Amino acid sequence: MDTKILAELEMLLREINHQINLYTRCFLNEKGITMSRFWVMNKLSLDKPITMKDLQKKLLLAPATLTGLIDNLVDDMLVKRWRDDNDRRLVYLTLTPEGHKLLSDILQCRISIFENSLKNLDEINIEQINDDLRLILNRIKKTTDELP
């Protein structure tokens, strides 16, 4: 494969992500939430319930950093936190209904970026792009799963 083309693909994906994140930050500022809190909420929506330890591993955050983020989300009633009755060392997390609603609003905001950007572009096959990106993501995950 041509390294130059792959470098351009990597740059384009990174820049698309950057632009979406810029737009998202404006929306989050209106809601009084940070990008870090959004990423925590997003991960909580995928794995429920999840332990603090597992969430920390998935987000690659220091335990103290994650604890601060979770404390704020719990205070804002966006996340529920509880200890396991059988093993008090395990702390579980899940989104509250309010957290799910806010996350849904944030994700809809992000989707609207694509809707606005891609309308009237008949030559783009979104389903094919999704299929190709899903394939790339799965192969990257397989590669990173083999890392120590």
pLDDT in tens, 110-121: 999 989 988 888
Q: Does residue 45 register a pLDDT over 80?
A: yes
pLDDT (mean) for 94-100: 96
Q: Residue range 34-56: average pLDDT?
A: 92
- Percent of the chain scoring above 70 in pLDDT: 99
- Estimate the share of the chain in helix, then strand, then coil, as percent rounded to the nearest 5: 70, 10, 20
Q: How far is residue 44 CA from its own chain's centroid?
A: 9
pTM for the whole thing?
0.84
Question: In this predicted model, what pLDDT tens digit does every residue of 58-68 receive, in sequence order?
Answer: 999 999 999 99
So where are the chain's domains?
A: 3-114
Strand partners, 97: none
pLDDT band with cut points at 50, 70 and 90 for residue 47: confident
pLDDT at 118: 87
What pLDDT does residue 35 have?
95
Residues 73/79, Cβ–Cβ less than 8 Å: yes
Kindly state the greatest CA–CA separation across the chain.
Answer: 57
**Which CATH architecture does the domain made up of 3-114 adopt?**
Orthogonal Bundle (1.10)
Are the C-beta atoms of 34 and 57 separated by less than 8 Å?
Answer: no
pLDDT over threshold 80, residue 37: yes
